[in-house]
A = this chain, B = another copy of it.
Amino acid sequence: MRVECRETRRSWHCLAMTDEFRREHWERGAEWPLTLLAVVFLLAYALPILRPGLAPALAQACELATWFAWAAFAVDYAVRLGLSRRRAGFVRTNLLDLAVVVLPLLRPLRLLRLVTLLSVLNRAMGGSLRGRVGVYVSGATALVLSVAGLAILDAERQSSEPNITSFGDALWWAATTVTTVGYGDRYPTTATGRFIAGGLMLAGIALLGIVTASFASWLLDKVREVEGESQAATRRDIEALTAEVRALREELAGLRLGSPS
Contacts and interface: CB of A to CB of B under 8 A. Distances in A.
A177 interface: yes
A244 B244 contact: no
Contacts of A234: 231, 234-235, 238
Contacts of A244: 242, 245-246, 249
A45 interface: no
Given A234-B235, A237-B242, A260-B258, A213 B215 contact: yes
A88 interface: no
A165 to B, nearest CB: 14
B237 A240 contact: no
A204 interface: yes
> For this complex, into which size category does the number of interface residues on chain A fall?
35 or more
Given A213-B218, A231-B231, A238-B241, 7 more contacts: A182-B183, A209-B214, A210-B215, A212-B213, A233-B235, A237-B242, A252-B252
Nearest to A252: B251
A241 B248 CA distance: 12
Interface stretch (A50-58, A101-109, A219-227): A219-227
A249 to B, nearest CB: 5
A3 to B, nearest CB: 26
A172 interface: yes
Interface string A170-209: 0010011101111111010001001001100110111111
Contact of A181 (B201, B213, B226, B248): B201
A18 B260 CA distance: 69
B226 A227 contact: no
B184 A177 contact: no
A211 interface: yes
A228 B230 contact: yes
A1 interface: no
A206 B183 CA distance: 19
Given A183-B182, A219-B216, A247-B249, A211 B211 contact: no
A253 interface: yes
Contact of A224 (B172, B194, B226, B245): B226
A248 B241 CA distance: 12
A160 interface: no
Contacts of A197: 175-176
Nearest to A217: B219
A11 interface: no
Contacts of A212: 208-209, 212-213, 215-216
